[in-house]
């Protein structure tokens, strides 16, 4: 007896040793061809009539059929979602995924599970960040938080099932989604009504600034004010401030001419590096010769006040007469400045006033003249002489500015 599958001999039975039985039954199993589709099984049997050799034998055959089907015809399913974000750098959100492989229920081993899982994220920048591609750990369920960098993020999940009964038997599914992240605040702060008022002592700078446009980070984070490119104000405002007033000492009073004020207002959008927006506005103010003269005369008044309030014990007698005389000399000095006689004013302070107050014959840099010592100073206390020396030197230096700047 011979057994054929798809016309291929797979078994041959010889009953000679068993005495040629007249009846025979058996159960027979064989390997599935693992080729999907219809197949045939044929059985051929010969009797034992060998009187005239094999040509005397009679035979009978039976042919049946069977079908081979795939026990797993359903590919893995992949669900990807974008959650917990609004597509902006203020709330970039996250990707989640779940990979499943269901049993078809058609028999066989079903081959549930996965032979391979690949998860990757591609990023294409729109904010000059560096593009990247990263591979995430293989997992059937997971999530990945999007950074706040602007651009397009693409997550791609590929899953191959565990159906490996035959070559090319496994099924693969690939799924992807894109998410664009944009800036939630693209409008700069608004500055208005800039005003600069200056006198010989102070500079007043006032303006309005707002940043109330849509976005997660409304408001102003920082205000910087520069005068001639020097930072003079760094201020963090409160959330409710709109109008700003800054009063500064006029440190440019001895620099006759125009001075540039620059106001920079930076918003509070800080979701990522370089995210904040800044608005600047510039305006100038002028230090005039008249303002500088006023300031020097104010310094002289300040010196005179210090003289009049000083202790008589630090003055040669009669102290009150000497104080009164010194006040007259300082008033004469102011008159000279008012009428633009700056060199004469310098000489009077250098040769007449400073020696009497300090006992020194020195200029604003303490360079000596006439021996450097005045033997009969009106002020006798060294501590007070030192104070008056510093005041006189400052006024002398400022008179030099008036002499060469006028």
Domain that holds residue 364: 291-405
pLDDT of residue 180 exceeding 80:
yes
- Of 258, 286, 314, the position where a domain reaches its end is 286
Largest CA distance in the chain: 172
pLDDT of residue 246 exceeding 80:
yes
- Of 181, 206, 229, the position where a domain reaches its end is 181
- Do 200 and 290 form a contact (C-beta atoms < 8 A)? no
pLDDT at site 176: 97
Average of pLDDT values for 338-363?
Answer: 97
Question: Tell me, what DSSP letter sits at residue 312?
Answer: G
pLDDT of residue 207 exceeding 70:
yes
Rounded to an integer, what distance in angstroms lies between the CA atom of residue 281 and that of residue 46? Answer: 110
pLDDT at site 5: 85
Do 128 and 165 fall within a single domain? Answer: yes
| Bridge partners (DSSP) listed for residue 79 | 98
pLDDT digits (tens, 9 = 90+) for 94-116: 999 999 987 665 655 556 789 99
Do 109 and 15 fall within a single domain? Answer: no
Q: How confident is the model at residue 236 (pLDDT cuts 50, 70, 90)?
A: very high
- Do 151 and 124 form a contact (C-beta atoms < 8 A)? yes
pLDDT digits (tens, 9 = 90+) for 294-346: 999 999 999 999 999 999 999 999 999 999 999 999 999 999 999 999 999 99
Domain count, the chain: 4
| Bridge partners (DSSP) listed for residue 220 | 267
pLDDT of residue 258 exceeding 90:
yes
pLDDT at site 148: 94
* Residues 6+ away with beta carbon under 8 Å from 383: none
In the numeric block, which tokens belong to residue 95? 């990707």
pLDDT at site 71: 67
Q: What is the mean pLDDT of the chain?
A: 90
Buried b (16+ CB within 10 A) or exposed e, 333-355: bbebbeeeebeebbebbbeebbb
* Residues 6+ away with beta carbon under 8 Å from 2: 9, 11, 12, 13, 43, 44
pLDDT at site 401: 95
CATH of the domain at 98: 2.60.40
pLDDT of residue 397 exceeding 90:
yes
Average of pLDDT values for 72-91?
Answer: 91
pLDDT digits (tens, 9 = 90+) for 139-169: 999 999 999 999 999 999 999 998 777 777 7
Helix (H) or strand (E) holding 405: helix 382-405
Do 213 and 282 fall within a single domain? Answer: yes
Rounded to an integer, what distance in angstroms lies between the CA atom of residue 370 and that of residue 362? Answer: 8
Percent of the residues in the chain that have a pLDDT greater than 90, as a whole number: 68
Q: Is the dihedral of CA 314, 319, 322, 326 positive or negative?
A: positive
Do 279 and 300 fall within a single domain? Answer: no
CA of 387: how far to CAs of 133, 162, 381, 382, 390, in Å? 71, 94, 10, 9, 5
- Of 15, 35, 68, the position where a domain reaches its end is 68
pLDDT at site 163: 79
pLDDT of residue 355 exceeding 80:
yes
| Token pair 């593009």 in the structure block, residue | 131
pLDDT of residue 49 exceeding 80:
no
pLDDT at site 106: 62
CATH of the domain at 199: 2.60.40.10
In the numeric block, which tokens belong to residue 135? 């591979």
Do 297 and 376 fall within a single domain? Answer: yes
SS (H, E, C) 69-131: CCCCCCCCEEEEEEECCCCECCECCEEEEEEECCCCCCCCCCCCCEEEEEEEEEEEECCCCCC
Do 171 and 195 fall within a single domain? Answer: no
Instruction: For the chain, give percent helix, strand, coil, nearest 5.
Output: 20, 40, 40
Average of pLDDT values for 165-183?
Answer: 89
Do 129 and 147 fall within a single domain? Answer: yes
In the numeric block, which tokens belong to residue 378? 């009106």
pTM for the model: 0.69
């Amino acid at each position: 007896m011979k057994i054929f599958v798809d016309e291929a001999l797979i078994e041959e039975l010889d009953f000679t040793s068993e005495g040629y039985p007249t009846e025979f039954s058996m159960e027979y199993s064989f390997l599935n061809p693992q080729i999907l589709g219809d197949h045939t099984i044929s059985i051929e049997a010969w009797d034992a009539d060998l009187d005239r050799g094999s040509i005397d034998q009679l035979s009978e055959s039976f042919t049946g059929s069977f079908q081979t089907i795939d026990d797993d015809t359903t590919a893995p399913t992949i669900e990807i979602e974008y959650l917990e974000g609004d597509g902006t750098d203020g709330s970039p959100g996250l990707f989640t995924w779940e990979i499943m492989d269901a049993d078809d229920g058609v028999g066989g081993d079903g081959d549930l599970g996965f032979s391979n899982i690949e998860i990757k994220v591609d990023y294409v920048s729109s904010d000059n960040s560096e593009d990247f591609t990263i591979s995430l750990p293989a997992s059937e369920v997971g999530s990945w938080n999007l950074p706040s960098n602007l651009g397009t993020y693409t997550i791609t999940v590929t899953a191959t099932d565990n159906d490996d009964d035959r070559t090319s038997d496994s099924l693969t599914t690939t799924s992807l989604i894109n998410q664009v992240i944009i800036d939630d605040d693209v409008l700069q702060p608004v500055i208005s009504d800039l005003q600069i008022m200056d006198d010989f002592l102070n500079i007043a700078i006032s303006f309005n600034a707002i940043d109330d446009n849509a976005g997660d980070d409304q408001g102003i984070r920082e205000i910087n004010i520069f005068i001639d490119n020097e930072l003079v104000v760094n201020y963090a405002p409160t959330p409710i401030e709109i109008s700003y007033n800054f009063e500064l000492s006029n440190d440019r009073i001895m620099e006759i001419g125009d001075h540039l004020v620059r106001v920079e207002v930076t918003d509070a959008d800080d979701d990522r590096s370089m995210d904040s927006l800044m608005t600047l506005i510039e305006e100038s103010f002028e230090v005039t010769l008249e303002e500088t003269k006023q300031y020097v005369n104010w310094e002289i008044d300040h010196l005179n006040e210090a003289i009049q309030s000083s202790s008589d014990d630090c003055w040669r007698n009669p102290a009150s007469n000497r104080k009164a005389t010194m006040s007259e000399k300082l008033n004469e000095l102011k008159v000279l400045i008012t009428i633009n006689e700056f060199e004469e004013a310098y000489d009077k302070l250098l040769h007449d006033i400073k020696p009497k107050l300090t006992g020194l014959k020195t200029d604003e840099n303490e360079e000596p003249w006439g021996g450097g010592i005045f033997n009969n100073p009106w002020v006798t206390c060294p501590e007070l002489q030192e104070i008056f020396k510093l005041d006189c030197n400052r006024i002398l230096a400022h008179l030099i500015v008036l002499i060469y700047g006028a």
